[in-house]
Structure 1
Amino acid sequence: MAMILNALASNVLNMLMEVGKEEVSLLLGVSGEINRMRVRLQDLRNFLTDADRRRITDNSVQGWVTELKGVMYEATDILDLCQLKAMEQSPLASQKGCFNQLFSCLRSPLFTHDISSRIKVLNQRLDNIKERSAAFSFINLGSYDDHGGKVHASHVAFPSRETSGELDRSGVVGEKIEQDTRKLVEIMLTGIKGGTSHGDGKVMVFAIVGVGGIGKTTLARKVFNDEAIQSEFDKTICVSINQDLNEAELLKRAIIEAGGDHSHAGNAKATLQRVLKDTLTGKKILLVMDDVWNNIAWEDVLKTPLVNGATPGSRVLVTTRDERVARGMKAIPPYHHIDKLDADDAWSLLKKQVAASEMDESDIAALKDTGMEIVSKCDDLPLAVKVMGGLLRQKDRNHSDWGKVLNDSAWSVVGMPEELNYVVYISYEDLSPCLKQCFLHYSLLPKNIVFGSNTIVGMWIGEGFVHGSSSDDLEELGRQYYKELILRNLIEPYNKTINQYHCIMHDVVRSFGQCMSQDEALVAHIRETSTISKLGSQKFIRLSIETGGSESDKLKWSMLQEQKHVRTLISAGQFEIKPNETLIYFSSLRNLHIQSANIAALVDHIYQLKHLRYLSVRDSDIFRLPDNIGEMKFLQLLDLRSCRKLKKLPSGIVKLGHLRYLNMNETSKDATIPRGFGALSNMRILFGFPGHVDDEWCSLEELGPLCELRKLGLNSLENVYDASSAEKARLCEKVHLTKLILRCSSRTGDDGLVEEEAGVSEEEQRKIIGLFDELCPPHCLERLEIGGYFGRRLPRWMTSTSATALKSLNTLWIDDLTCCTQLPDGLCELPYLQFIHICHAPAIKHVGPEFMQLYHHCSHPPSKTMVSFPRLNKLDLKEMVQWEVWEWEEEVKAMPVLEEVQLKHCKLRCLPPGLSYHARALRKLSLESIQHLTSLENFASIVDLEVSQNPDLERITDLPVLQKLTIIMCPKMKVLEGVPLLQSLFLEDYGMEALPEYMRGVNPRQLNLDCSIALLRSIAAGQPGPEWAKFSHVGRVKGYAREEDNKRKWYVMYTREPYNLETDIDY
């Protein structure tokens, strides 16, 4: 159940305490009914933990629980109505979000009679429920009092566990996975003669088979990320398939993964398949299909575009629990079956999950005997061991605490449903009621949609799962809940995002959560007819429904109208809505998330959802919001992202005193906000706020009173030219602001230069400089993004004399720096700056001492121990098309922890000496389209180097630890020396007629080559051929040549030991 009894009772009791004042009780016309309800709930609360546990295996207890929850849900509705009435009487009550003005509303006889009658009826029902509880002999297990919203101390005790989205997941299933990975990679790259393939030999399918939680996905990811795999295929695509298949969403994800664009393709399957085919044409593809339950996703959706588009040698890797799926997809036998972990690997995995650092491992080693018994109870399944590790991470490292887990009575519960994994159950029972609710809610989210943490936390706040008053930082508290679920391995960071912003939940864990919630929640796909049919026969509190992209996959809105008690509705996809159908059915809704849907016809009725806290209509067809939206007094989060037809917010929005989050990104470029917006003093997160002017009024002025802002994004700032308007925004006074986005419309073209028709006058530059000067952020800012800025100089607060304004900054992202002639000169002093990304800065020609040297900025010489950019970890400088000189001499100490540099599309002739001399942590360097670069030498720490389309590059020398080198279209490259540890060399140049002479002096373990057909023929000739002496000493060679659009039409494969040379070239 997504609402835990203990937490729901706490919520109701808090509300009752607010209204349970003497004068309110008198005005209600009842004698102590409010107190009676509070006392009844308080008495019952001590038994709720036991009832919550027993209802899993006892249907009669489940019925009792459902009835009690029904009473409490209705009580919250009644108390909400009281507060709404109070807000009508006093705007101040709406601002404060409290009941201290409630008595004024109860002077209405009709309202008073209705409320008092409903409360009396609820008390009668509570009396009956309490009497019946005696028959169950519930045990008093106390209550978990977590109203303060405290989460476990693990966030303090193990901070290092929060910094990595992967939690060292690369080795989560023991040493055997390394062997399995190598075996699968070898088979997939070599191919199997006589195997079944699709499309005239183009595509071969391989399968990983095993039970849930055994590590199929982990193995598939390791194969997917293997260096040899990544270098072999032009495009690698990984998509998760589930039982609730949404064909349009699956195709869109595949197109995105393949680097294509589906924005103009709509939702029709045939159109999306054509886009995917075109995206794959002429490319060698690896497609990983994870968690496949049947053949539909392959046969009906992905097979046709892959077989008709991809080149021969493409591969599909499928993971499934059912061997019949592998057979149906004609996978190459024998399939790769994953075995359980052996005891030692299981113990190693458990230690890895529990330990916060190597220093902890000795303490954990002392608990090995108990730990081995625990992993045995996990049946040596990797997922179970990981979840158990997440639980033990919260415990003290002693025999007592570990022994309690080992001997927990939950291991021996009789009658548990098959879907309830015992390990997940034990971890679940260790959660506080607040975290239980958040966890169960997460399990209800559509699997095909990856939600961001802001969205998820917003839903939790809307449901009341995150406890606190309206003045508390509920968003931060919700993020702590989110992080704890990650630490416990109940959700896992999505491997394509950073900072744990997106997460996924394993199917075994998801099934557990949905089973625990099945008494009040329905999770379904439109094609699951047996599940969807429950909408007409059962009543639910929470609905999560996915539809498809075709007409036949639309959900009839009328099917939902009987769900009158629903409090959360999450839907992704299209509806069939008839005239006169409305939202009025859902009068108890707290959360409404409708994504990628056609709901414009319902907009006029949104205001009727009086209890609504969370509203997301992102990527929908709405073009306006109702003027009376101000009646939705409880609304806290409003997400309008990608509603591209929406041009303005209604004036009524200024009455939403509880609004904490508003996102207008990617709405109409002419979007506007109403005057009076500054009244929304509870606003915490505001994205896509448009800059615009109306007579003498400017929208930026409305930001002044919003002193609680944590994240702020401003768009269309070129529309505001009065610097005094920016000054009135008072950004520097917003002491909670950690993220700031400042954007103007882009004025650069595809070539990186300013478009002629978008030219910038001196007057425009002067005004935008003045505007940005007044948008100085506060000292607490951590992330700054600037886009489309066209001033000739950067804002004053980014220069050396004012850089303290950014003293907490860790990320700087600048895009389209149209007219600036130099980089900001105050960045080198920032103590926490870790990442700089600058792209499209066509006016910069010279990066000199002003960017690198501390003493250039200080009136007094710096200490000899001081360094510039002390924590910078990654530096991206791209599309600076006129950049010719980078000064950084050896005596300038800077960037001591820099690990990655990317330089792209500039006119540099050489890299600065200081980069190789001081950036001793630099491991990865990427140089693309550096027009006049002639040599690269003396980088002592680089492990991974990529040079691409550098027309004058001739020499790469003295890189003593280099292991991976990629050279693409560098026609003058002649010298490669001083690379003794080189393991992998990739050369791409379809005009290459002969292997470079430097191949005689290097000895990589593997050479991958894309070249001309003439060179490939010479290699295919083997020992008699002219190229033999250049490649015969290499352990493994894979070469390809193109024919028209097929980049890898012809191939040669060579291995030195054992000797093998094969090709498909005809002599």
Structure 2
Amino acid sequence: MGTVLDALAWKFLEKLGQLIEDEVIMTLSVKRGIESLKKNLEFFNAVHEDAEALAMEDPGIDSWWKNMRDVMFDVDDIVDLFMVHSQKLLLPPRPVCCNQPLFSSFAKFSFDHMIAKRIDNINEKFEEIKMNKEMFGLERTNRQQIQITIVDRSQTSPVDELEVVGEDIRRAIDDMVKMIVSSNYNESRSTVFGIQGMGGIGKTTLAQKIYNEQRIREKFQVHIWLCISQNYTETSLLKQAIRMAGGICDQLETKTELLPLLVDTIRGKSVFLVLDDVWKSDVWIDLLRLPFLRGLNSHILVTSRNLDVLVEMHATYTHKVNKMNDCDGLELLMKMSLGPYEQSREFSGVGYQIVKKCDGLPLAIKVVAGVLSTKRTRAEWESIRDSKWSIHGLPRELGGPLYLSYSNLPPELKQCFLWCALLPSNFVIRRDAVAYWWVAEGFVTEVHGYSIHEVAEEYYHELIRRNLLQPRPEFVDKGESTMHDLLRSLGQFLTKDHSIFMNMEYSKALPNLRHLCISNDVEEIPAIEKQKCLRSLLVFDNKNFMKINKDIFRELKHIRVLVLSGTSIQIIPESVGNFLLLRLLDLSYTKIQKLPESIGKLTSLEYLSLHGCIHLDSLPDSLMRLLNISFLELEQTAIDHVPKGVAKLQQLYNLRGVFDSGTGFRLDELQCLSNIQRLRIVKLEKAAPGGSFVLKNCLHLRELWLGCTIGGHDKTYYQANEIERIQQVYELLIPSPSLLYIFLVGFPGVRFPDWLCSEPERKMPNLGHMHLNDCTSCSVLPPAGQMPELLVFKIKGADAIVNMGAELLGKGVNSAKHITIFPKLELLLITNMSNLESWSLNTWNLCGKSEQLVLMPCLKRLFLNDCPKLRALPEDLHRIANLRRIHIEGAHTLQEVDNLPSVLWLKVKNNRCLRRISNLCNLKDLLAQDCPALYQAENLISLKRLYMVDCHNAKQFRMSLLEDQQLAVHLVQMAGISFQMNLSIIRQCSKKEKAQKDVVLRRKLRLRIRLPVRQRLRRAGAAAAAGAGAENGCKCGDNCTCNPCNCGKLKQATS
């Protein structure tokens, strides 16, 4: 598939070709040198595509390969440096004194002389490399350039649940969930459960399935997932635990401060904690054990390769994950490479042979499936089967399928994969950020018709499709992912001589480093200024990184990527202007107070993030000289003035946190940003209305965020004339038809902008997401029902809305013959509507006038939160055929939920007046919590699972539940519960019995639950079971199947 250097060669040849055509910007000597350099690069097309692999097996070839790679990096440096100076020559001249032209000419002559000399040196090195190439016989004849196909992800399906294949893992999930939710252990202490197995065998997949299980989500109030790397820091773990528990710890930095906060955050709450990939028991014994003892009922699930770790943590039960059998492995391979299993029979034979080579490791099967997903013929599968799966010198655990998945990557993706391996273990890789990193490194090849950032994002998704990155399941758009430790180790092994991830255990820097990532646990920062070849430096959240040696900016002349996010650095010296090749500068969440004027000299800079720099209160005027900038982020800073000149930044693709500052930047400047795709404008209460539509030339705009930071929660803050002024500002911000996302936050106007209310389906035909947050004074919603592509509609904090309904349908629907309301809407969220009293879909008055009416045909999920005055759900909600899940919380006036035949899952929580749930004939899961008036349930004939928490009148349910209903009931006890219920008991069948018809034992059990809950519950269950056995004259003993006490369902219900 080509080597990493192939991608560099293609890129350099294209750049050199462009330079040769430009006669203006080079002298004759430089042009001749570049022509020779281009010819020397073309020879690389004849290098054997296995040279990278052969270098690991032959020391001579390895030396040749390293020399070749170093020369290619030299070419990259000289080409970029020359292009930077060429751009300076093409810039309009500034006013100068009389002797300046003579000085400039001399400087240009000196620079050309230097460039010509360096090019000659590179050409000499190439001649030596050519001789060695012939010595080693590294010839090849045919070579194809691999193209990455851009996929329209808006037409693809969202992320499915984690693939689970095989009865063993399904049984393990169910058994462990039952064990966790039904454990009879003392609730005053924490209980540890373990999952143990070798790397890549599926421990994390199993833990994720358990973590996301609905039974787990309902039993525990707090859910925390912590990835434990080998070099974790205590403060970072504590911060992550606090945030996931719902706490805020942004200003705390020490363990002494964080531990008490964690204790307070989880005190009195039931907690489910996952510690993934634990290497040493210290993280639990010395750090987390005591805080989680303060929880009401803490259950801890630990995954580890080492059984001793789980023993030291006193795991109550440990599940050992075994290798996958070949049949299950084949099913997994086919699912992940070809899709449905039925369509892959012709590949099953060769697929089975490939699975045998994966040795039962799910990770190995997945990455090989990623390779096979790009192969569509049996012959190609056989070629993969017969190819070389490993190389001499590669560690055994990194060879085989893992190396195969890397070696089959196109050259561009090899660079991106190796770059991700440089990041810390369990690092969350965000699509937007990594795309900019790759662009800054020069890894991304332009594709006609697409922006370079879109191509980079497609590289990211291609690595996911090949299973080399693992998407986080909570992000349906795959926007965040991680890399498995074994794949990370492979990447670090392949780049060990020029790229390093430096941590506390390995802090020795190598000469000629190109890429360096410093862990947050490194206490002594090395002498970075000595790494004169460094191209990227990444430091994440290292509080020991407090200042930058000025020599760094003088010596690191080749740096492209500089990430100092979350460090304690306070001052950026003026010498930063020496970074002529710097393309990405990330200073987010640092303590910097100002930027130097010299930042305007960074003419190559494309990405600048100042997000979260709360001490930064101003920007230098020189910032507007960064003509190549495409990403600028200013959110969550103390900046009160944005300099004038944004209009000159023609390459801006993503602008976040900009605002009209009167004497500086004005909204009118946005008219010049024709390439902008993502725009966030804040503090719009400060803006003055202009004389034109400021976004009229932003024809590629995809995401628009408009917000007021003051007054969104208090409509009385503004005078009437101020509100009208702000209204006029919004009216001028008409987005282009290309818009996909719209966010309005804190809008204080009394009516939404006209472009959102008058035929939005025509003005924004591609809009997929509409979020209206804290628009407290608007009493009428926009007519979103006619928007053809709308997928997500969120309304939050619209306090002025009392009645909601007809306005959503839009004008003209009465005259239409075929009406579809919200044709593609999948998710509807209505939250924090404090005055909403009625909600009607008003379809009744349309039915007689229309030949066909379709209501929300794609709606799957409805969330209704904190609407305390809402009296009833819409009558026509039953017309929504695909509505599957409804969550209703904080609707204190709502009295019934009924007549919803398509709903499968219903959660009602904290609804004080809810009395009745009826006619949900397909409902399978009902979750009721803190609904004290709930007493009646009718026609729930499909109900399979019922969870009840603090529903004081639930004893009336026994009149509603049929005697022969197969219902698994999970009773969650809270103080003060007292009710009765009829239960149907399902016997746990043996494997032999499962082949026969299920046997259902119907026994009436009257369970009266009082305090102390658990003891009473056990006695009631035991007494009832004994009575049932006595009535039937049973003398079979403890293992009798007619004894309900042996039924796992009963044990689960009575724990």
Q: Which residue of the other structure, out of 226, 251, 255, is the alignment partner of 1:239?
A: 226
The correspondence of residues 593-604 of structure 1 with structure 2, limited to 5 A, is 593-604=563-574
Deviation track 1:727-785 (CA, whole Å, cap 9, x = no partner) reads: 352x1332211111111115355xxxx37xx5232212211111111111111111111
Q: Which residue of 2 aligns with 1:406?
A: 385
Structure 1 position 22, deviation (Å) = 8.7
Contact 2:427 2:482 in 1 (8 A): no
Q: Which residue of 2 aligns with 1:828?
A: 785
Contact 2:7 2:411 in 1 (8 A): yes
Contact 1:450 1:502 in 2 (8 A): yes
User: Distance in 1 between the 2:117 and 2:556 partners?
Assistant: 23
User: Distance in 1 between the 2:16 and 2:547 partners?
Assistant: 41
Q: Does 1:343 align with 2:326?
A: yes
Deviation track 1:857-908 (CA, whole Å, cap 9, x = no partner) reads: 45x7112x32110111111111111111112234354212211111122212
Deviation track 1:321-343 (CA, whole Å, cap 9, x = no partner) reads: 1112112222225x211111111
Q: Which residue of 2 aligns with 1:432?
A: 410
Q: CA separation of 1:279/1:801 partners in 2, compared to 1, >3 Å: closer, same or farther?
A: same
Q: Which residue of the other structure, out of 800, 809, 812, is the alignment partner of 1:843?
A: 800
Q: Which residue of 2 aligns with 1:132?
A: 132
Q: Which residue of the other structure, out of 370, 382, 385, is the alignment partner of 2:362?
A: 382
Q: Which residue of 2 aligns with 1:1010?
A: 973
User: Distance in 2 between the 1:447 and 1:241 partners?
Assistant: 9
| Superposition CA RMSD, Å | 3.2
Structure 1 position 139, deviation (Å) = 3.0
Q: Which residue of 2 aligns with 1:447?
A: 425
The correspondence of residues 579-618 of structure 1 with structure 2, limited to 5 A, is 581-584=550-553, 585-618=555-588
Q: Which residue of 2 aligns with 1:674?
A: 643
Q: Which residue of 2 aligns with 1:331?
A: 315
Q: Which residue of the other structure, out of 148, 154, 179, is the alignment partner of 1:151?
A: 148
User: Distance in 1 between the 2:547 and 2:192 partners?
Assistant: 45
Q: Which residue of 1 aligns with 2:501?
A: 523
User: Distance in 1 between the 2:549 and 2:390 partners?
Assistant: 54
Equivalent AA in structure 2 for residue 965 of structure 1? L
Tell me the TM-score normalised to structure 1 length: 0.87
Q: Which residue of 2 aligns with 1:181?
A: 173
Q: Which residue of 1 aligns with 2:295?
A: 310
Point out the more displaced range, 885-894 or 296-305. 885-894
Contact 2:182 2:1051 in 1 (8 A): no
Q: CA separation of 1:817/1:499 partners in 2, compared to 1, >3 Å: closer, same or farther?
A: same
Structure 1 position 997, deviation (Å) = 1.6
Structure 1 position 469, deviation (Å) = 9.2
Q: Which residue of the other structure, out of 871, 888, 912, is the alignment partner of 2:824?
A: 871
Q: Which residue of 2 aligns with 1:717?
A: 684
Contact 1:590 1:611 in 2 (8 A): yes
Q: CA separation of 1:22/1:671 partners in 2, compared to 1, >3 Å: closer, same or farther?
A: closer
Q: Which residue of the other structure, out of 875, 878, 881, is the alignment partner of 1:913?
A: 875
SS at match of 1:837: strand
The correspondence of residues 882-893 of structure 1 with structure 2, limited to 5 A, is 882-891=835-844, 892=846, 893=853
User: Distance in 1 between the 2:1008 and 2:128 partners?
Assistant: 78
Deviation track 1:612-638 (CA, whole Å, cap 9, x = no partner) reads: 011111111112211121211111111
Q: CA separation of 1:546/1:1034 partners in 2, compared to 1, >3 Å: closer, same or farther?
A: farther
SS at match of 1:966: strand
Unmatched segments (≥5 aa) in structure 2: 95-103, 847-852, 983-1000, 1026-1042
Q: Which residue of 2 aligns with 1:733?
A: 697
Equivalent AA in structure 1 for residue 225 of structure 2? C
SS at match of 1:32: helix
Equivalent AA in structure 1 for residue 433 of structure 2? T
User: Distance in 2 between the 1:577 and 1:245 partners?
Assistant: 20
Q: CA separation of 1:815/1:31 partners in 2, compared to 1, >3 Å: closer, same or farther?
A: closer
Q: Which residue of 2 aligns with 1:262?
A: 249
Structure 1 position 846, deviation (Å) = 0.9
SS at match of 1:946: strand
Deviation track 1:227-254 (CA, whole Å, cap 9, x = no partner) reads: 2222222222111111121222211111
Deviation track 1:148-200 (CA, whole Å, cap 9, x = no partner) reads: xx3047x37x987x53234x4242x423211111222233334477xxx9xx9
User: Distance in 1 between the 2:488 and 2:54 partners?
Assistant: 21
Q: Which residue of 2 aligns with 1:1023?
A: none
Contact 2:193 2:315 in 1 (8 A): yes
Q: Which residue of the other structure, out of 775, 780, 801, is the alignment partner of 2:738?
A: 780
Contact 1:34 1:119 in 2 (8 A): yes
Contact 2:978 2:1009 in 1 (8 A): no
SS at match of 2:651: coil
Point out the more displaced range, 462-471 or 506-515. 462-471
Q: Which residue of the other structure, out of 215, 238, 243, is the alignment partner of 1:251?
A: 238
Q: Which residue of the other structure, out of 157, 164, 172, is the alignment partner of 2:158?
A: 164
Equivalent AA in structure 1 for residue 558 of structure 2? S
Deviation track 1:675-723 (CA, whole Å, cap 9, x = no partner) reads: 11110101111111123212xx652122110000111111111111324
Contact 2:935 2:954 in 1 (8 A): no
User: Distance in 2 between the 1:779 and 1:641 partners?
Assistant: 29
Deviation track 1:484-526 (CA, whole Å, cap 9, x = no partner) reads: 111111112112223111111111221111211212110132x
Q: Which residue of 1 aligns with 2:335?
A: 352
User: Distance in 1 between the 2:139 and 2:685 partners?
Assistant: 66
Structure 1 position 823, deviation (Å) = 0.8
Equivalent AA in structure 1 for residue 14 of structure 2? N
SS at match of 2:56: coil
Contact 1:599 1:621 in 2 (8 A): yes
Q: CA separation of 1:808/1:457 partners in 2, compared to 1, >3 Å: closer, same or farther?
A: same
User: Distance in 2 between the 1:807 and 1:770 partners?
Assistant: 23
Q: Which residue of 1 aligns with 2:279?
A: 293
Q: Does 1:420 align with 2:398?
A: yes
Structure 1 position 559, deviation (Å) = 3.0
Q: Which residue of 1 aligns with 2:986?
A: none
Structure 1 position 142, deviation (Å) = 4.4
Equivalent AA in structure 1 for residue 685 of structure 2? E
Q: Which residue of the other structure, out of 365, 371, 388, is the alignment partner of 1:391?
A: 371
Q: Does 1:794 align with 2:791?
A: no
Q: Which residue of 1 aligns with 2:54?
A: 54
Q: Which residue of 2 aligns with 1:769?
A: 727
Q: CA separation of 1:496/1:256 partners in 2, compared to 1, >3 Å: closer, same or farther?
A: farther
Q: CA separation of 1:847/1:582 partners in 2, compared to 1, >3 Å: closer, same or farther?
A: farther
Q: CA separation of 1:883/1:579 partners in 2, compared to 1, >3 Å: closer, same or farther?
A: closer
The correspondence of residues 626-641 of structure 1 with structure 2, limited to 5 A, is 626-641=596-611
User: Distance in 2 between the 1:383 and 1:667 partners?
Assistant: 42
Q: Which residue of the other structure, out of 570, 592, 606, is the alignment partner of 2:538?
A: 570
Q: Which residue of the other structure, out of 931, 935, 956, is the alignment partner of 1:997?
A: 956
The correspondence of residues 691-702 of structure 1 with structure 2, limited to 5 A, is 691-694=660-663, 699-702=666-669
Contact 2:887 2:907 in 1 (8 A): yes
Q: CA separation of 1:833/1:602 partners in 2, compared to 1, >3 Å: closer, same or farther?
A: same
Q: Does 1:461 align with 2:422?
A: no
User: Distance in 2 between the 1:675 and 1:2 partners?
Assistant: 47
Equivalent AA in structure 2 for residue 953 of structure 1? L
Contact 2:550 2:573 in 1 (8 A): no
Q: Which residue of 2 aligns with 1:1026?
A: none
Deviation track 1:510-545 (CA, whole Å, cap 9, x = no partner) reads: 1111211212110132x22xx11x22x433110111
User: Distance in 1 between the 2:173 and 2:547 partners?
Assistant: 53
Deviation track 1:193-229 (CA, whole Å, cap 9, x = no partner) reads: 7xxx9xx961121211111111111111111122222
Identify which of structures 1 and 2 has the higher relative contact order when contacts are C-alpha pairs closer than 8 Å and 6+ apart.
1
Q: CA separation of 1:26/1:721 partners in 2, compared to 1, >3 Å: closer, same or farther?
A: closer
Count of residues in correspondence between the two structures: 990
SS at match of 2:552: coil
Unmatched segments (≥5 aa) in structure 1: 95-103, 1021-1030
Structure 1 position 1049, deviation (Å) = 12
Q: Which residue of 2 aligns with 1:942?
A: 903
Structure 1 position 471, deviation (Å) = 10
Equivalent AA in structure 2 for residue 538 of structure 1? P
Point out the more displaced range, 498-507 or 595-604. 595-604
Q: CA separation of 1:237/1:578 partners in 2, compared to 1, >3 Å: closer, same or farther?
A: closer
